[in-house]
Structure 1
Amino acid sequence: MEPAVLFDLDDAGIATITLNRPDMRNPISGDDVVNGICDTLAAMEANPKVRVAILTGAGKAFSSGGDINAMKPGGGGLNAGLPAGTRGNYKRGIQRIPLAFAALEVPVIAAVNGPAIGAGLDLACMCDLRIAGESAKFAESFVKLGIIPGDGGAWLLQRVVGFSKAAEMSLTGDMLDASEALACGLVSRVVPDADLLTEARALAAKIAANPPHAVRMTKRLLWEARRADLATVLEMSAAMQAVAHATGDHEEAVNAFLEKRKPVFKGD
């Protein structure tokens, strides 16, 4: 069987992560997928050659979320039958994914190529940027199955679309099409399905062209600013700026500007 998560890195430092269970619409609750995502993110974080990543799904779905066929007790899914066992399954399983994203300083673009449902929507919200193909659909649909977002969706979604819209989506479980997702800020752009990966790579290339240390620190600062007060963010900004000023890429950027030429950033 092919790996549940595929990884590719090109010469420009753009990584592509592909959920690779198209026959099942790319569920993310299985151990093979959870381990694949977490291991891939950890490897990217440790690799200075990775400047930006694109996350997408194989086939016609981004991710269907949890595997409903495995939700019955003893079905091999997260539901262990006894509450204590189920709690442990979540902590050792799918909840590792948002923590892995939170530890990652490489920017990630979600290229949503079809339905992103339940945990699939939350996975897209773990990414830093989201663009959608015209056929993409989104739903925070846990309530329709009599469960709650067990993967951090209650924290993630409202930070993307605001509390009111997140509450509407979470309490109704209603589906949004791509245009509705664009209107509420869930995605930043909608493109023809055939152009999705091309557009995602073009966006990734713009990020990859910037000094990699500054890119990673900027992402870290943005994530920390979600939960810190202004004084803390200013203190972090001063410390990170001191590091940034000492990099070779900052010196190259200044020299290139003054010499009216295109800079060449090497990650120094």
Structure 2
Amino acid sequence: MSEFLQIQRNGGVAVVRMNSPDTRNALSEPSQMQEFVDLCRDLRRDQNIRVMVLTGNGKAFCAGGNIKDMQNREGIFAGSPYELRDTYRNGIQQIPLALYELDIPIIAAVNGPAIGAGLDLACMCDIRIASDKALFAESFVKLGIVPGDGGAWLLPRIIGIPKASLMAFTGDTIDAAKALEWGLVEQVCTPEALESEALALAERIARNPGHALRLCKRLLREGQHMRLDSLLELSAAYQSLAHHTEDHREAVSAFVEKREPNFKDK
């Protein structure tokens, strides 16, 4: 279906696998970045999908940028400073914008190293679970560059400014146990169990009404930069919409009647 992203739909769950194991799923081509944008556009239109799981094929989740291209100033690292600026803005920076605007919850199943842009990609997801083989590094400074894909905004919101500063200023790698301790991931499991654990979590989420999930995620996103009074106004508006859905009435009826609900995303 696509060259870099393999997409599998299982009921209300879309499993997306980055499929370039030879490059450790490095983000090095404009076409890869466009695939993320196209994927998010398609999933926003697909009301049957309620959750997305993102993982990587092979031993790595995502190794970030292609270091050889950096060395040779080729590909996305070619051109003048002005050209490079536009390359970032029109390329990799489209990924956090697309994922941020995707209304359904996103689970990152971090199967191996998530380095540089790979860590930031995991941070673009709502929930992260990791294999005990996973490694994490905000490693840009070691290459004499800065997080160019939103990492300086994303990482502090997950683990706090002090720990994000430590990772960004040293560029050092932490293991899955430390990531769990710091709240970077919510769960650590064996490599063999990672996908089943991610799918089980996705299916738990997907059992809920799709409209409620989408509105809830939007409130969480907007709440990161709104005043409380503004968020309360938005919450009241969203709640009024939710109260008038068929799925809300079905959820209440099922609760009262002590049965499983049958949601229809209406």
Does TM-score exceed 0.5, indicating one fold? Answer: yes
Question: Does the Cα contact within 8 Å between 2:50 and 2:206 map onto a contact in 1?
Answer: yes
Q: Which residue of 1 aligns with 2:215?
A: 217
Measured in 1, the distance between the counterparts of 2:73 and 2:187 equals: 41
Change beyond 3 A, Cα 1:73–1:84: farther
Please give the alpha-carbon distance, in whole angstroms, between the structure 2 residues aligned to 1:49 and 1:64: 32
SS class of match (2:188): strand
3-state DSSP of counterpart to 1:77:
helix
SS of 1:53's partner is: strand
Q: Which runs of 4+ in 1 moved over 6 A?
A: none
- RMSD across aligned positions (CA): 1.2
TM-score of the pair, normalised by structure 1: 0.97
Answer yes or no: is 1:71 the counterpart of 2:86. no
Q: Equivalent residues in 2 for 1:6-85 (5 A)?
A: 6-10=6-10, 12-72=11-71, 74-80=73-79, 82-85=80-83
- Is residue 138–residue 175 contact of structure 1 (8 Å, CA) maintained in 2? yes
1:195 aligns with: 193
Note the C-alpha offset of 1:2.
6.6
Match of residue 120 from structure 2? 122
**Partners in 2 of 1:74 and 1:66 — Cα distance?**
12
Q: Distance in 2 between matches of 1:132 and 1:164?
A: 22
1:245 positional shift: 0.2
Query: Hey, what's the Cα distance between the residues in 1 that align with 2:151 and 2:230?
Result: 25
Aligned letter for 2:126? D
Given that residues 128 and 186 in structure 2 are in contact (C-alpha distance below 8 angstroms), is that contact kept between their aligned partners in structure 1?
Answer: yes
The alignment partner of 1:138 has SS state of strand
> Could you tell me which amino acid in structure 2 is paired with residue 8 of structure 1?
Q
Extract unaligned runs of 5+ from structure 2.
none
SS in 1 for 2:192: helix
Amino acid at match of 2:4: A
Aligned to 1:3: 3
Contact 1:29 1:78 in 2 (8 A): no
Contact residue 72 and residue 79 of structure 1 kept, 8 A = no
Q: How many pairs does the alignment contain?
A: 266
Contact 1:122–1:157 at 8 Å: present in 2 too? Answer: yes
Contact 2:64 2:114 in 1 (8 A): yes
State the SS of the aligned residue for 1:88. helix
Pairs within 5 Å for 1:70-219: 70-72=69-71, 74-80=73-79, 82-219=80-217
5+ residue gaps, structure 1, are none
Conserved? CA contact 1:133–1:196, under 8 Å: yes
| Gap change, CA 1:66 and 1:89, over 3 Å in 2 | same
Letter matched to residue 43 of structure 2: M
- Once residues 74 and 205 of structure 1 are traced to their aligned partners in structure 2, the CA distance between those partners, rounded to angstroms, is 43
Cα distance in structure 2, aligned partners of 1:173 and 1:127: 21
Give a deviation string over 1:75-119, Cα, whole Å, max 9, x none: 112342x11111010001100000001111011000000000000
Deviations 1:28-80 (A, max 9, x none): 23112101111111101111011101000010100000111111464112342
